[in-house]
């Protein structure tokens, strides 16, 4: 088993945040961040930082975003997981 250093872990975490950012922006479409946030009890600043790949959201926020896009949580996670490399893993086994 290979142990990842802090830089490698942070790089992989950023890949997840970038994939999430891309998918939220894509799914939001023409709806403004303000409307998305106000209709779904999510802070507008949280949505903004998520879309810029700067925020690792809480699990409850992932659930709210999934519901906002009329998806089950697993479907939403799968959508942004598909943006990651095929062999992506946060830990090496």
Residue 86 within any structural domain of the chain: no
Look up the CATH number of the domain holding residue 34: 1.10.260.40
Residue 1 within any structural domain of the chain: no
Expressed as residue numbers, the domain containing 37 is 6-81
Asked if residue 4 has pLDDT above 80, the reply is no
The pLDDT, as a whole number, for residue 25 is: 97
Give the pLDDT confidence of 29-87 residue by residue, as tens digits: 999 999 999 999 999 999 999 999 998 999 999 999 999 999 999 999 999 999 999 98
pTM here is 0.90
Helix ranges, the chain (H): 6-28, 33-40, 44-51, 59-68, 73-81
The single residue listed with the structure tokens 């709210």 is 64
């Amino acid at each position: 088993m290979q142990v990842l250093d802090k830089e490698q872990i942070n790089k992989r975490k950023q890949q997840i945040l970038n994939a999430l950012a891309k998918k939220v922006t894509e799914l939001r479409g023409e709806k403004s961040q303000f409307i998305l946030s106000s209709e779904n009890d999510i802070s507008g600043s949280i949505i903004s930082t998520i879309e810029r790949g700067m925020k690792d959201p809480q699990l409850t926020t992932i659930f709210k975003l999934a519901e906002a896009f009329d998806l089950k949580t697993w479907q939403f996670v799968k959508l942004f997981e598909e943006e990651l490399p095929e062999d992506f893993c946060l830990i090496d086994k």
